[in-house]
């Protein structure tokens, strides 16, 4: 399959290039960057030296990109992927958007949280969380790749919500991310002296991934969902640990919780169940497409605490995009992303 990457110089774009190089069914055609047009990709990311020789082009040359591509991956800030979607609407090219433009079934929710007007409301899109939306992804024209915090949190909560084991309006998600999740652009708060030996929360009560988690939990449970989500930055380059709390419904047993996870994920290659009492760790999934999940029952408070760990740039971005690509193409889902985690 011929693929191009729109917005190839962000961290997710660079991770896509790392993964796609080892994909036996992919030929990378074009790479774009509006800020580095005309430069070599290896001059931006020297670790790609001798591997990719492409010059970065502008996304304005969409006719050429369209003519040469079966799929495009988009790694652009909110509001920009819609331009690509509209430009490719009447072509056979399929789209996987690593941003937020196509994640929401209700574009009013998108506009409220992202403060951007949605200009492609009638797009034929599906949500790109592979383990939950596999059937829809197979035929989709546009796949809205799930976000990083959301992937970790939704996968941890999904068996509980789907099996109606929790009061979904008691959910609290406390998640921590490595700094690469904030992107490559220089920001004072992500400057090394600011981050090193530091640990902080941000966007409390207002993070844009909140409604994405609520949308998924509501779809799984069939009930409206309002939850609390608090993100944190930790001084590491990559990884997410999500700790999700919820009150169990009366009469729900620990064995029912165990059965819900085993039933939903027992056959999922990229989800590794650590079981009741398990403690996922970011280093154990680093550089891989795995999501490790463990859960605990606090009988004293009547709560279940579900924990998950992912690499935010792989399962939380580029790896999941390639997993969705494999599903959409009818390939083995593991193709190109069956990577052993890097350790230590």
- Active-site positions? 148
Q: How far is CA 17 from the centre of its chain?
A: 16
Q: Please spell the DSSP secondary structure of 198-238, one letter per residue.
A: --EE-STTT-TTHHHHHHHHHHHHTS----EEEEEE-SSSS
Secondary structure (3-state) at 57: strand
Place of tokens 């959409």: 328
Q: Which two tokens stand for residue 319?
A: 């790896």
3-state helix, strand, coil in the chain (%, to 5): 35, 25, 40
Residues in Cβ contact with 269 at an 8 Å cutoff, skipping those fewer than 6 apart? 333, 334
Bridge partners of 200, per DSSP, are 233
Q: Please spell the DSSP secondary structure of 135-167, one letter per residue.
A: HHHHH-SEEEEPPHHHHHHHHHHHHHHHTT-EE
What distance in Å separates the CA atoms of residue 227 and residue 8, rounded to the nearest whole number? 34
In angstroms, the Cα distances linking 161 to 137, 156, 157, 215, 339 are: 21, 10, 6, 12, 30
């Amino acid at each position: 399959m011929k693929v191009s990457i729109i917005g190839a110089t962000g961290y997710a774009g660079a991770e896509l290039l790392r993964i796609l190089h080892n994909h036996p069914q992919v030929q990378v055609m074009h790479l774009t960057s509006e800020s580095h047009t005309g430069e070599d990709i290896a001059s931006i990311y020297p670790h790609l030296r001798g591997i990719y020789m492409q010059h970065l082009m502008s996304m304005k040359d969409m006719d050429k990109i369209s003519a040469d591509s079966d799929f495009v991956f988009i790694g652009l800030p909110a509001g920009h992927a819609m331009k690509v979607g509209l430009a490719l609407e009447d072509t056979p090219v399929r789209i996987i958007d690593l941003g937020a433009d196509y994640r929401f079934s209700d574009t009013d929710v998108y506009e409220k949280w992202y403060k951007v007007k949605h200009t492609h409301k009638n797009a034929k899109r599906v949500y790109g969380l592979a383990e939950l939306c596999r059937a829809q992804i197979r035929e989709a024209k546009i796949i809205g790749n799930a976000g990083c915090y959301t992937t970790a949190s939704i996968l941890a909560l999904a068996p509980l919500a789907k099996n109606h084991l929790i009061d979904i309006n008691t959910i609290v998600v406390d998640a921590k991310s490595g700094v690469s999740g904030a992107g490559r652009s220089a920001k004072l708060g992500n400057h090394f002296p600011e981050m090193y030996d530091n640990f902080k929360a941000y966007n409390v009560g207002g993070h844009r991934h909140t409604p994405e988690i609520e949308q998924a939990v509501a779809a799984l449970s069939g009930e409206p969902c309002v939850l609390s989500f608090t993100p944190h930055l930790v001084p590491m380059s990559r990884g997410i640990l999500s700790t999700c709390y919820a009150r169990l419904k009366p009469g729900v047993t620990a064995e029912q919780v165990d059965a819900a996870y085993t039933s939903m994920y027992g056959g999922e290659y990229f989800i590794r169940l650590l079981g009741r009492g398990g403690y996922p760790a970011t280093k154990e999934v680093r550089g891989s497409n795995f999501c490790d999940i463990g859960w605990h029952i606090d009988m004293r408070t009547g709560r279940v605490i579900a924990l998950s760990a992912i690499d935010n740039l792989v399962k939380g971005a580029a790896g999941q995009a390639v997993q969705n690509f494999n599903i959409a193409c009818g390939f083995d889902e593991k193709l190109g992303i069956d990577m052993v985690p890097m350790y230590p």
